[in-house]
Structure 1
Amino acid sequence: MTLNAWLWIVAGLLAAVLLISTSKMVVPREKIAAMGGTAAQWVLDFSPRALRTIGTLEILAAAGLILPRLLDIAPIMVPVTAVCVALLFTGAATMRWRRGERATIAPDLVYLTLALFVAWGRFGPAA
Protein backbone atom coordinates (compact mmCIF):
# COMPACT_ATOMS: atom_id res chain seq x y z
CA MET A 1 0.00 0.00 0.00
CA THR A 2 1.31 3.45 -0.84
CA LEU A 3 1.98 6.28 1.58
CA ASN A 4 -0.85 8.24 -0.02
CA ALA A 5 -3.30 5.42 0.69
CA TRP A 6 -2.17 5.23 4.33
CA LEU A 7 -2.58 8.99 4.68
CA TRP A 8 -6.14 8.77 3.34
CA ILE A 9 -6.96 5.93 5.74
CA VAL A 10 -5.53 7.73 8.76
CA ALA A 11 -7.17 11.04 7.81
CA GLY A 12 -10.51 9.23 7.41
CA LEU A 13 -10.11 7.52 10.77
CA LEU A 14 -9.31 10.83 12.48
CA ALA A 15 -12.26 12.51 10.77
CA ALA A 16 -14.56 9.73 11.99
CA VAL A 17 -13.24 10.03 15.56
CA LEU A 18 -13.76 13.79 15.47
CA LEU A 19 -17.30 13.48 14.10
CA ILE A 20 -18.27 10.89 16.72
CA SER A 21 -16.85 13.16 19.38
CA THR A 22 -19.20 15.97 18.39
CA SER A 23 -22.06 14.26 20.23
CA LYS A 24 -21.16 16.54 23.14
CA MET A 25 -22.87 19.32 21.18
CA VAL A 26 -26.32 17.75 21.41
CA VAL A 27 -26.22 15.31 24.34
CA PRO A 28 -26.50 16.97 27.76
CA ARG A 29 -23.15 16.92 29.53
CA GLU A 30 -24.68 15.28 32.62
CA LYS A 31 -25.84 12.36 30.47
CA ILE A 32 -22.40 12.04 28.86
CA ALA A 33 -20.76 12.04 32.29
CA ALA A 34 -23.17 9.37 33.55
CA MET A 35 -22.81 7.13 30.48
CA GLY A 36 -19.05 7.44 30.07
CA GLY A 37 -17.96 6.73 33.63
CA THR A 38 -14.83 8.34 35.00
CA ALA A 39 -13.35 8.88 31.52
CA ALA A 40 -16.21 11.25 30.65
CA GLN A 41 -16.31 13.33 33.82
CA TRP A 42 -14.25 16.03 32.13
CA VAL A 43 -17.34 17.36 30.36
CA LEU A 44 -18.62 18.66 33.68
CA ASP A 45 -15.61 21.02 33.84
CA PHE A 46 -16.79 22.82 30.68
CA SER A 47 -19.85 24.93 30.06
CA PRO A 48 -22.35 23.82 27.42
CA ARG A 49 -21.18 26.74 25.27
CA ALA A 50 -17.54 25.62 25.53
CA LEU A 51 -18.55 22.07 24.57
CA ARG A 52 -20.43 23.41 21.53
CA THR A 53 -17.33 25.39 20.56
CA ILE A 54 -15.11 22.32 20.87
CA GLY A 55 -17.63 20.29 18.86
CA THR A 56 -17.76 22.95 16.15
CA LEU A 57 -13.96 22.92 15.90
CA GLU A 58 -14.07 19.12 15.61
CA ILE A 59 -16.57 19.29 12.73
CA LEU A 60 -14.38 21.82 10.94
CA ALA A 61 -11.31 19.65 11.58
CA ALA A 62 -13.03 16.56 10.17
CA ALA A 63 -13.92 18.49 7.03
CA GLY A 64 -10.44 20.00 6.82
CA LEU A 65 -8.77 16.59 6.94
CA ILE A 66 -10.73 15.27 3.95
CA LEU A 67 -12.36 17.89 1.73
CA PRO A 68 -9.43 20.06 0.59
CA ARG A 69 -7.53 17.09 -0.81
CA LEU A 70 -10.65 15.33 -2.10
CA LEU A 71 -11.89 18.42 -3.95
CA ASP A 72 -8.37 19.60 -4.84
CA ILE A 73 -9.18 23.03 -3.43
CA ALA A 74 -6.37 24.39 -1.24
CA PRO A 75 -4.95 20.95 -0.39
CA ILE A 76 -2.35 22.65 1.84
CA MET A 77 -5.18 22.93 4.37
CA VAL A 78 -5.00 19.17 5.10
CA PRO A 79 -1.62 19.25 6.85
CA VAL A 80 -2.47 22.59 8.47
CA THR A 81 -5.65 21.02 9.83
CA ALA A 82 -3.70 17.95 10.95
CA VAL A 83 -1.39 20.19 12.99
CA CYS A 84 -4.46 21.83 14.55
CA VAL A 85 -5.90 18.39 15.36
CA ALA A 86 -2.58 17.46 16.97
CA LEU A 87 -2.87 20.59 19.11
CA LEU A 88 -6.44 19.63 20.03
CA PHE A 89 -5.33 16.20 21.21
CA THR A 90 -2.33 17.70 23.01
CA GLY A 91 -4.81 19.81 24.95
CA ALA A 92 -7.00 16.78 25.62
CA ALA A 93 -4.06 14.74 26.91
CA THR A 94 -2.87 17.64 29.05
CA MET A 95 -6.34 18.05 30.54
CA ARG A 96 -6.52 14.34 31.36
CA TRP A 97 -3.04 14.43 32.91
CA ARG A 98 -3.99 17.38 35.12
CA ARG A 99 -7.21 15.65 36.17
CA GLY A 100 -5.23 12.56 37.16
CA GLU A 101 -6.86 10.42 34.45
CA ARG A 102 -3.61 8.87 33.32
CA ALA A 103 -5.27 5.60 32.26
CA THR A 104 -7.40 7.43 29.67
CA ILE A 105 -4.59 9.42 28.05
CA ALA A 106 -3.54 6.61 25.68
CA PRO A 107 -6.26 7.15 23.04
CA ASP A 108 -5.53 10.88 22.93
CA LEU A 109 -1.83 10.15 22.42
CA VAL A 110 -2.64 7.68 19.63
CA TYR A 111 -4.83 10.26 17.86
CA LEU A 112 -2.12 12.88 18.39
CA THR A 113 0.42 10.56 16.74
CA LEU A 114 -1.94 9.86 13.83
CA ALA A 115 -2.52 13.59 13.29
CA LEU A 116 1.23 14.21 13.27
CA PHE A 117 1.62 11.39 10.73
CA VAL A 118 -0.91 13.07 8.42
CA ALA A 119 0.78 16.45 8.87
CA TRP A 120 4.21 14.96 8.15
CA GLY A 121 2.98 13.03 5.10
CA ARG A 122 0.98 15.86 3.56
CA PHE A 123 3.63 18.50 4.22
CA GLY A 124 6.45 16.24 3.05
CA PRO A 125 6.58 13.06 0.96
CA ALA A 126 2.96 13.04 -0.25
CA ALA A 127 2.46 16.79 -0.60
Structure 2
Amino acid sequence: MELAYWIVAGLLAAFYLYAGGMKVARSKEQLQPMMGWVDRVPMPLVRTIGVLEILGAAGLILPPLTGVAAWLAVAASIGLLLIQVGGIAVHLSRGEARLIGLNIALLITAAATTWLATTWL
Protein backbone atom coordinates (compact mmCIF):
# COMPACT_ATOMS: atom_id res chain seq x y z
CA MET A 1 0.00 0.00 0.00
CA GLU A 2 2.84 2.36 0.75
CA LEU A 3 4.33 2.05 -2.74
CA ALA A 4 0.91 2.48 -4.33
CA TYR A 5 0.33 5.63 -2.27
CA TRP A 6 3.65 7.16 -3.33
CA ILE A 7 3.03 6.43 -7.01
CA VAL A 8 -0.53 7.77 -7.10
CA ALA A 9 0.13 10.70 -4.75
CA GLY A 10 3.32 11.61 -6.59
CA LEU A 11 1.56 11.75 -9.95
CA LEU A 12 -1.35 13.72 -8.50
CA ALA A 13 1.01 16.14 -6.73
CA ALA A 14 3.03 16.70 -9.91
CA PHE A 15 -0.13 17.52 -11.85
CA TYR A 16 -1.43 19.95 -9.24
CA LEU A 17 1.95 21.59 -8.73
CA TYR A 18 2.06 22.33 -12.46
CA ALA A 19 -1.60 23.36 -12.82
CA GLY A 20 -1.58 25.44 -9.65
CA GLY A 21 1.68 27.09 -10.62
CA MET A 22 0.20 28.13 -13.94
CA LYS A 23 -2.85 29.64 -12.26
CA VAL A 24 -0.65 31.59 -9.87
CA ALA A 25 1.97 32.79 -12.34
CA ARG A 26 0.21 33.34 -15.67
CA SER A 27 -2.11 36.11 -16.77
CA LYS A 28 -5.76 35.62 -17.73
CA GLU A 29 -4.81 35.95 -21.41
CA GLN A 30 -2.18 33.22 -21.09
CA LEU A 31 -4.57 30.88 -19.25
CA GLN A 32 -7.54 31.46 -21.56
CA PRO A 33 -6.52 29.06 -24.38
CA MET A 34 -6.26 26.06 -22.01
CA MET A 35 -8.72 27.09 -19.31
CA GLY A 36 -11.70 28.75 -20.96
CA TRP A 37 -13.49 29.18 -17.64
CA VAL A 38 -11.10 31.93 -16.50
CA ASP A 39 -13.02 34.44 -18.62
CA ARG A 40 -15.94 34.32 -16.17
CA VAL A 41 -14.03 33.93 -12.92
CA PRO A 42 -12.28 36.83 -11.17
CA MET A 43 -8.48 36.47 -11.28
CA PRO A 44 -8.14 36.58 -7.47
CA LEU A 45 -10.30 33.43 -7.34
CA VAL A 46 -8.21 31.78 -10.09
CA ARG A 47 -5.07 32.62 -8.10
CA THR A 48 -6.65 31.26 -4.90
CA ILE A 49 -7.49 28.00 -6.63
CA GLY A 50 -3.90 27.81 -7.85
CA VAL A 51 -2.53 28.34 -4.33
CA LEU A 52 -4.89 25.68 -2.97
CA GLU A 53 -3.71 23.25 -5.65
CA ILE A 54 -0.06 23.91 -4.76
CA LEU A 55 -0.80 23.49 -1.04
CA GLY A 56 -2.69 20.27 -1.81
CA ALA A 57 0.28 18.93 -3.77
CA ALA A 58 2.61 19.76 -0.89
CA GLY A 59 0.16 18.19 1.57
CA LEU A 60 0.18 14.91 -0.32
CA ILE A 61 3.97 14.61 -0.17
CA LEU A 62 5.52 16.50 2.76
CA PRO A 63 3.59 15.18 5.80
CA PRO A 64 4.04 11.47 4.97
CA LEU A 65 7.63 12.09 3.90
CA THR A 66 8.56 13.82 7.16
CA GLY A 67 6.25 11.81 9.40
CA VAL A 68 4.90 15.03 10.89
CA ALA A 69 1.09 15.34 10.90
CA ALA A 70 0.70 12.60 8.30
CA TRP A 71 -3.09 13.01 8.56
CA LEU A 72 -2.66 16.18 6.48
CA ALA A 73 -2.18 13.93 3.43
CA VAL A 74 -5.76 12.72 3.87
CA ALA A 75 -6.98 16.31 4.25
CA ALA A 76 -5.03 17.39 1.16
CA SER A 77 -6.42 14.58 -0.99
CA ILE A 78 -9.97 15.38 0.15
CA GLY A 79 -9.36 19.04 -0.66
CA LEU A 80 -8.14 18.18 -4.15
CA LEU A 81 -11.16 15.95 -4.63
CA LEU A 82 -13.41 18.89 -3.72
CA ILE A 83 -11.58 21.12 -6.20
CA GLN A 84 -12.54 18.66 -8.93
CA VAL A 85 -16.16 18.59 -7.80
CA GLY A 86 -16.10 22.37 -8.24
CA GLY A 87 -14.41 22.03 -11.62
CA ILE A 88 -17.07 19.61 -12.83
CA ALA A 89 -19.79 21.98 -11.62
CA VAL A 90 -18.20 24.90 -13.49
CA HIS A 91 -17.92 22.92 -16.73
CA LEU A 92 -21.50 21.66 -16.48
CA SER A 93 -22.80 25.17 -15.75
CA ARG A 94 -21.05 26.38 -18.91
CA GLY A 95 -22.54 23.57 -21.01
CA GLU A 96 -19.15 21.89 -21.37
CA ALA A 97 -20.05 18.35 -20.34
CA ARG A 98 -17.62 17.00 -22.95
CA LEU A 99 -14.72 18.61 -21.05
CA ILE A 100 -15.16 16.89 -17.70
CA GLY A 101 -13.15 13.77 -18.54
CA LEU A 102 -9.94 15.10 -16.97
CA ASN A 103 -11.89 16.34 -13.95
CA ILE A 104 -13.40 12.89 -13.44
CA ALA A 105 -10.00 11.20 -13.79
CA LEU A 106 -8.49 13.59 -11.24
CA LEU A 107 -11.47 13.10 -8.91
CA ILE A 108 -11.04 9.31 -9.05
CA THR A 109 -7.28 9.65 -8.52
CA ALA A 110 -7.81 11.94 -5.53
CA ALA A 111 -10.36 9.46 -4.10
CA ALA A 112 -7.87 6.62 -4.55
CA THR A 113 -5.18 8.70 -2.86
CA THR A 114 -7.53 9.38 0.05
CA TRP A 115 -8.24 5.68 0.41
CA LEU A 116 -4.56 4.73 0.16
CA ALA A 117 -3.62 7.40 2.68
CA THR A 118 -6.21 6.16 5.20
CA THR A 119 -5.09 2.55 4.86
CA TRP A 120 -1.36 3.24 4.96
CA LEU A 121 -0.89 6.23 7.27
With the shorter chain as reference, the TM-score category is over 0.9
Provide the rounded CA distance (Å) in 2 between the counterparts of 1:84 and 1:31: 26
- Give the partner amino acid of 1:110: A
Structure 1 position 69 matched with structure 2 position 64: yes
2:74 matched residue in structure 1: 79
The alignment-based identity, stated in percent, is: 33
TM-score between the two structures when normalised by the length of structure 2: 0.93
TM-score between the two structures when normalised by the length of structure 1: 0.89
Unaligned runs of at least 5 residues, structure 1: none
- 1:81-120 equivalent positions in 2, closer than 5 A: 81-120=76-115
- SS for the counterpart of 2:120 is coil
2:4 matched residue in structure 1: 6
- In the TM superposition, structure 1's runs of 4+ consecutive aligned residues that sit over 4 Å from their partners are none
Among 13, 17, 20, the alignment partner of 2:18 is: 20
Deviation at 1:108, TM superposition (A): 0.6
- Give the partner amino acid of 1:26: A
- SS for the counterpart of 1:62 is helix
Provide the rounded CA distance (Å) in 2 between the counterparts of 1:76 and 1:31: 36
RMSD: 1.1
Unaligned runs of at least 5 residues, structure 2: none
2:28 matched residue in structure 1: 29
Provide the rounded CA distance (Å) in 2 between the counterparts of 1:80 and 1:25: 22
Which string of whole-angstrom CA distances, capped at 9 and with x for unpartnered residues, describes residues 91-118 of structure 1? 1111111111111101111111111111
